[in-house]
Structure 1
Amino acid sequence: MNETEKILLILDLDETLIHATEKKLEIEPNFQYAEYYVYKRPHLIEFLTEMSQYFKLAVWSSADDKYVKDVVELIKPTELELEFIWARSRCTTRRDYELDKYVREKRLKKVKKQGFRLEKSLIVDDSPEKTRDNFGNAIYVLPFEGNQNDNELISLSEFLKSIKDSDNVRRIEKRGWRNVKTAYNNV
């Protein structure tokens, strides 16, 4: 597969790839960052390594820029190259009247301005309100809060491999992704 044909897979950080908390859980953390105990989601390294074979990878979080950059460097395999690591400064703050709070949105038009086609971009997040303008590109995962029996990344890996060759990810129904057992070919 030509590198330019790979889909861009943008991954959220907190509650998607890791769980960071000021209150230590009953299990030992993978590491500490400032006042946070950080727990990697089970199967994280295998997931990142395998997905890097099929996708261009990036991380985009709404958390503090320094925190995101530092934590990503601590959790990713050293040989893994990411397209970008974006954080709060790349988000757009919007008032969500339904939730009665301000939300830091991840708007994919910013990714498009970097030369990535939206038809070949996916964003994985546990917070639908942060990607609501990108519904056709979003895959929503269950939040990770430290459960060491979590298998979400294994399930996600299987689904992503089934759509890795898609010409337009926006045409793929992703709401029931955990139940998809057949491969999509050039959807």
Structure 2
Amino acid sequence: MAAVVHPGAFTERELERRPIMGVTMPNPEEEPPAWSELDESLRAALRFLAYECVDPGPVPEGPALLPRQECAGESVQRMTVVLDLDETLSHCRLEPLEKFKPDFCVQFEESKATGYVYVRPHARLFLEVAARLFEVVVFTASSKGYADQVLDQLDPERKRISTRLYRQHCVERSGAFLKDLRRMGRQMDRCLLVDNSPVSLALCPDNGVVVSSWTAEDPEDNELMELLLMLQQCEEEVSVPKFLGQRYGLRAMVDLLRRRPELLED
């Protein structure tokens, strides 16, 4: 069983590189973040969570987004891992980086522009291993035309990612595209969403994991390997939201920011 990630498990250099929000972040109740060091984009995301999504609303009606899962006689349902795409598994930009060569290119149909795509370190290995252990779904707020070009490179044989979900499957609220796990057709105790944007987790903070955003500048990034270790431990737990609540305390953080909005002020 993988060891629980905690501050004492890291060297001084690793602690310096730990993101304010990411797989290796400490529980904010145990080790409060340096609120003054948050960049404006993260402040805005946390404000959205605190003020715009107090109530997720009723469970949406309609067919489930995922096909029915066959349990094959297992007493515990296989865990479903729903992954974001951009800045989580890969990064796309309109101009290539000077120092690093893109892994491949995509074409945007509407603008006729070329996108230069960089694959996050260990992404292909992560998908290969994760597919053996979990039901792996990719859920992006991007368009299908763009996302499929990237996913066809990451999973050309379509054996690692069981289902692809796109912008049309999101819930739009206050101009943001949210991802509602309640529409998956899976037990919430066995389902989680991994995303670099806290906003995406607004409807399911108890089932969310925030990964650090990757924009291709760090070729030594190890976030996906850290994520794999955490997922393996989560798989052994009966309740995903209980485990994640104890490990990351995202809902507790949001509740704190509602009580103390001044923490997000400059």
Query: TM-score of the superposition, structure 2-length normalised?
Result: 0.59
**Counterpart Cα distance in 2 of 1:104 and 1:163:** 26
Partner of 2:105: 32
Structure 1 residue ranges (4+ consecutive) displaced by more than 3 angstroms after TM superposition? none
Partner of 1:150: 221
Partner of 2:206: 136
Question: Which one has a larger percent strand, Structure 1 or Structure 2?
Answer: 1
Superposition deviation, residue 81 in structure 1: 4.0
Matches within 5 A, 1:117-132: 117-132=187-202
**Counterpart Cα distance in 1 of 2:182 and 2:161:** 19
Superposition deviation, residue 175 in structure 1: 1.6
Instruction: Report Cα offsets for 1:98-123 as digits up to 9, x if no partner.
Output: xxxx1101111211xxx311111111
Query: C-alpha root-mean-square deviation of aligned residues, in Å?
Result: 1.8
**Counterpart Cα distance in 2 of 1:79 and 1:91:** 22
Contact 1:6–1:120 at 8 Å: present in 2 too? yes
**Counterpart Cα distance in 2 of 1:77 and 1:175:** 34
Contact 1:49–1:77 at 8 Å: present in 2 too? no
Q: Secondary structure at the match of 1:116?
A: coil
* Greater C-alpha radius of gyration: 2
What are structure 1's unaligned runs of at least 5 residues? 96-101, 177-187
Query: TM-score of the superposition, structure 1-length normalised?
Result: 0.83
CA gap of 1:48–1:120, structure 2 versus 1, over 3 A, is same
Superposition deviation, residue 174 in structure 1: 3.7
| 2:139 is equivalent to residue 60 of structure 1 | yes
Contact 1:11–1:124 at 8 Å: present in 2 too? yes
**Counterpart Cα distance in 1 of 2:164 and 2:242:** 26
Partner of 1:98: none
Partner of 1:48: 127
Superposition deviation, residue 136 in structure 1: 0.9
CA gap of 1:120–1:68, structure 2 versus 1, over 3 A, is same
